[in-house]
Amino acid sequence: MQIKRHDWPRALATQSTKQLTAVLNEMTTRWTITPVQLPQTGLGMLQLRDSAFNDPYFLGEIPLASAWVSIRTEDQQEYQGAAQLMDDDQDKIEALAVCDAILAYQLPGWQALYQLVEIGMAALTQEQQLRKAMLAKTRVDFALLNATEQDDD
């Protein structure tokens, strides 16, 4: 797998909860899925380091959902998966935790999920390319200013 585990949640999060659960429902019918920790939605406090003096401070809060599940497959093997996301959709985070286990251990059907990861990453990359293009288009060319020997200060 080219796309690493640390990118799976944000890539899969581009898909709707409905899409994710539809794929998972087909794969997990004969498995038992139980929470290792109860899924939670709430807030996280975002901590930054200021660049003037390196002082840590809190910028503000972010929504946060987290889930940690255990999957028991039909051959009685147990696998665990977990996910955290800036979201407050409990169904989605539970689905992402199941996806995490399936992808991490390449459980039967993982390829279908990995396709969703690839689709999600492509969408994220496209958005990133758009932002970069906007940056490139608005880059200031000071060569013209230097050529006319003007100065802005």
Partner 1 sequence: MGYVAIKGGGRAIDGAADALELLRTRQGESARPLDTDTIEKQLYFLHSRILSEGGLYHPQLASLAIKQSLGDTLEASFALRAYRSTKPRLLETPVHDTSNMRLIRRISASFKDIPGGQMLGPTTDYALRLLRMDLLNESPEQFQAIAKTLLAGLPQQSGADSFPKVLDSLRAEGLLPQVNQAAREQPFDITREPLIFPVPRSAALATMARGETGSLLAIAYSNMRGYGDVHPTVAELRVGYLPVMLPHPISGELTEVGEVLMTECEVVAMYQGDDNKSVPTFTLGYGACFGHNEVKAISMAILDRALQKGMQDGAENPSEDPEFVLLHVDGIDSMGFASHYKMPHYVTFQSDMDRLRTTQQKQEAGHE
Contact residues for partner 1 (CB under 8 A)? 5-7, 9-10, 13, 37, 40-64, 66, 68, 80-88, 100, 128-140, 142, 145, 152
> Least separation, in Å, of the C-beta of 126 and partner 1?
11
Neighbours of 65 (CB within 10 A): 23
> Least separation, in Å, of the C-beta of 88 and partner 1?
8
* For partner 1, the closer CB: 16 or 25: 16
* For partner 1, the closer CB: 30 or 52: 52
> Least separation, in Å, of the C-beta of 150 and partner 1?
11
Query: Long-range contacts: 102-106, Cβ < 8 Å, 24+?
Result: 102/24, 102/27, 102/71, 103/1, 103/5, 103/8, 104/5, 104/79, 105/79
* For partner 1, the closer CB: 26 or 42: 42
Residue 88 vs residues 42, 75, 122, 139: alpha-carbon distances, Å? 7, 34, 24, 37
Among 108, 118, 94, smallest CA distance to 8 is for 118
Contact 21, 28 (CB under 8 A): no
> Least separation, in Å, of the C-beta of 129 and partner 1?
6
* For partner 1, the closer CB: 42 or 108: 42
